[in-house]
């Protein structure tokens, strides 16, 4: 007998925890997994929860267990596996049923799937879910892309399972088709940048400050009580305070410095370039992860490439030019973090214009206040800035954040200078500063690039007096 209010396919870590979250909130859910053994592992965990959890050995059993019109969450690996599940389900469904892709999908795939399913009478939602394993189980941040009617059918369940910020569920309809997955992609891009910036400050404290992880842990714990208060700062303090039970060394010191990535950072960059936007802090973070994989090459480079000129560095330190205090490190990280978020919001604004999604940037900031990886104390102020108006779509141009940068960017400048003189790589922090310095100058240097393009390719240029399609009388041409 059909009795479940919603179905879910895919019981890996995220899918299983999301299913348990739904059951805990008192809803009946039917679950299915390609490997039936995983169903048997998850079902006992739901025995003490409020809602019913029904294990289904086949897609046919799952569909038969659902009340009509049916809603089925797909939580499998992004890409072809999602299409494979859709192909399995279509012959079993009826017009009016809705499929929900809650994985880390490329929003272009979401739009393609919608265009395929809509003429058949099926609903399709692209739903970004952030917060990792803990968030899925106890309250994620949820970014929905779909129609208002489709969202209304799921709203009660989604509001119940979402994280709450002062009672406000961190879930909402972002816009139609791929809007939800695009917002999640930008979220992940900001996450890349934020993590890289924190790692660069850690590297400075380790290699230049000669601090041990436990001493750094105290700094991060202190910073988490101030303007940098955020999930990533919080867990960094906990990580640095952790000891490896096997060796007795700081846990962070026994971890290989090769970082993985699942592709969402690269997607953010691709879309930024397509939309003519700068996501330089995210680009630097993605590049840094790629460079980290070249460990053997870096070992060779350590022997071949010289350290910075020690006398120059020593003289600069004696002159007091690059001595960085703990308070300045905090302000440097704060400035870079603001710039990374600003680039993310600018990208959202550009995509909104391109695709006509009518994104509410303030509401996006509010949804990110709890449950997600980039949750931060600053997001309330970012929401307020978005509501009051960000000139030309730039968070750094809003009055409140321009003022914060005015008082903190000097520390970022000194941090980047000190790192460069000591030969420490800070790609994300340096990119943040370069972006800030670019955006604060009305006249840049691309006039010379335009002249170069005209010299070798007769591409033409626009003069300051407004005359377009001009060519220069270049010497030696």
pLDDT tens per residue across span 61-100: 999 999 999 999 999 999 999 999 999 999 999 999 999 9
Sort strands 29-32 and 53-55 into parallel, antiparallel or unpaired.
parallel
CATH code, residues 6-177: 3.40.50.720
pLDDT tens digits along 132-181: 999 999 999 999 999 999 999 999 999 999 999 999 999 999 999 999 99
pLDDT tens digits along 374-418: 999 999 999 999 999 899 889 999 999 999 999 999 999 999 999
Q: 383 Cβ partners below 8 Å, 6+ apart?
A: 362, 363, 365, 366, 369
Q: Take residue 57 and report the two structure tokens written for it.
A: 């050995």
* Catalytic annotation, pick one of 5, 191, 271, 330: 191
DSSP secondary structure code for residue 462 in this structure = -
DSSP, collapsed to helix, strand or coil, labels residue 35 as: coil
Can you give the pTM of this predicted structure?
0.93
- How far, in Å, CA of 161 to CA of 60, rounded? 26
By the 10 Å C-beta count (0-12 exposed, 13-18 middle, 19+ buried), 287 is classed as middle
Cβ atoms of residues 2 and 65 within 8 Å:
yes
* 191: annotated active-site residue: yes
Nearest 5°: phi and psi at 71?
A: -130, 125
Angle at 22 between CA 105 and CA 180, to 5 degrees: 25
Q: Take residue 380 and report the two structure tokens written for it.
A: 């309330």
Looking at domain 445-477, its CATH architecture is Up-down Bundle (1.20)
- How far, in Å, CA of 133 to CA of 135, rounded? 6
* 25: annotated active-site residue: no
Cβ atoms of residues 124 and 118 within 8 Å:
yes
* Catalytic annotation, pick one of 24, 25, 150, 184: 184
pLDDT tens digits along 21-40: 999 999 999 999 999 999 99
Residue with tokens 């709450």: 164
CA 360 to chain CA centroid, Å, is 17
pLDDT tens digits along 91-144: 999 999 999 999 999 999 999 999 999 999 999 999 999 999 999 999 999 999
Where in the chain are the domains? Answer: 6-177, 185-439, 445-477
Sort strands 168-169 and 164-165 into parallel, antiparallel or unpaired.
antiparallel
Angle at 339 between CA 214 and CA 207, to 5 degrees: 30
CB atoms within 10 A of CB 392: 8
Class of domain 185-439: mainly alpha
CA 292 to chain CA centroid, Å, is 19
Q: How many CA atoms lie within 13 A of 94 on its CB side?
A: 7
Cβ atoms of residues 370 and 139 within 8 Å:
yes
Band (pLDDT 50/70/90 cuts) for residue 294 is: confident
pLDDT tens digits along 297-337: 988 998 899 888 665 556 666 555 567 899 999 999 999 99
């Amino acid at each position: 007998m059909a009795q479940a209010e919603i179905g879910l396919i895919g019981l890996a870590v995220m899918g299983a925890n999301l299913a348990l979250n739904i059951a805990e909130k008192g809803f009946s859910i039917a679950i299915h997994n390609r490997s039936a053994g995983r169903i048997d592992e998850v079902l006992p965990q739901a025995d003490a929860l409020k809602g019913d959890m029904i294990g289904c050995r086949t897609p046919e059993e799952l569909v038969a267990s659902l009340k009509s019109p049916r809603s089925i969450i797909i939580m499998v690996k992004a890409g072809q596996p999602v299409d494979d599940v859709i192909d399995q389900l279509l012959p079993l469904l009826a017009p009016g049923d809705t499929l929900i892709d809650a994985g880390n999908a490329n929003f272009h795939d979401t739009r393609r799937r919608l265009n395929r399913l809509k003429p058949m009478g099926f609903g399709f939602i692209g739903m970004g879910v952030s917060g990792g394993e803990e968030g899925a189980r106890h309250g994620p941040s949820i970014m929905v892309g779909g129609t208002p009617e489709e969202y209304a059918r799921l709203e009660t369940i989604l509001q119940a399972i979402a994280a709450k910020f002062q009672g406000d569920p961190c879930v909402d309809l972002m816009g139609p088709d791929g809007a939800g997955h695009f917002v999640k992609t930008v979220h992940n891009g900001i996450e890349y940048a934020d993590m890289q910036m924190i790692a660069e400050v850690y590297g400075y404290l380790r290699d230049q400050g000669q601090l041990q992880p436990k001493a750094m842990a105290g700094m991060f714990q202190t910073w988490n009580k101030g303007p940098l208060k955020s999930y990533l700062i919080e867990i960094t303090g906990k990580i640095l305070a952790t000891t490896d039970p096997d060796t007795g060394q700081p846990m962070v010191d026994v971890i290989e410095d090769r970082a993985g990535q699942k592709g969402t950072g690269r997607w953010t960059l691709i879309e930024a370039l397509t939309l003519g936007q700068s996501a330089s802090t995210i680009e630097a973070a993605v590049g840094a992860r790629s460079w980290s994989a070249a460990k053997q090459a870096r070992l060779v480079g350590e022997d071949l490439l010289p350290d910075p000129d020690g006398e120059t560095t020593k003289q600069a330190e004696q002159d007091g030019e690059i001595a960085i205090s703990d308070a300045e490190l905090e302000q440097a990280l704060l400035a870079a973090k603001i710039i990374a978020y600003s680039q993310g919001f600018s990208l959202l604004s550009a995509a909104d214009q391109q695709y006509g999604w009518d994104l509410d940037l303030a509401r996006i900031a509010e949804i990110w206040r709890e449950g997600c990886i980039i949750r931060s104390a600053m997001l309330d102020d970012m929401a307020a800035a978005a509501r009051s108006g960000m000139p030309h779509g730039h968070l750094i141009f809003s009055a409140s954040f321009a003022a914060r940068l005015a008082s903190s960017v000097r520390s970022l400048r000194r941090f980047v200078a000190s790192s460069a003189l000591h030969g420490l790589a800070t790609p994300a922090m340096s990119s943040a500063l370069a972006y800030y310095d670019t955006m604060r100058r009305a006249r840049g240097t691309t006039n010379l690039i335009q002249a170069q393009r005209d010299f070798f390719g007769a591409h033409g240029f626009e003069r300051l007096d407004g005359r377009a399609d001009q060519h220069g009388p270049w010497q030696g041409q």
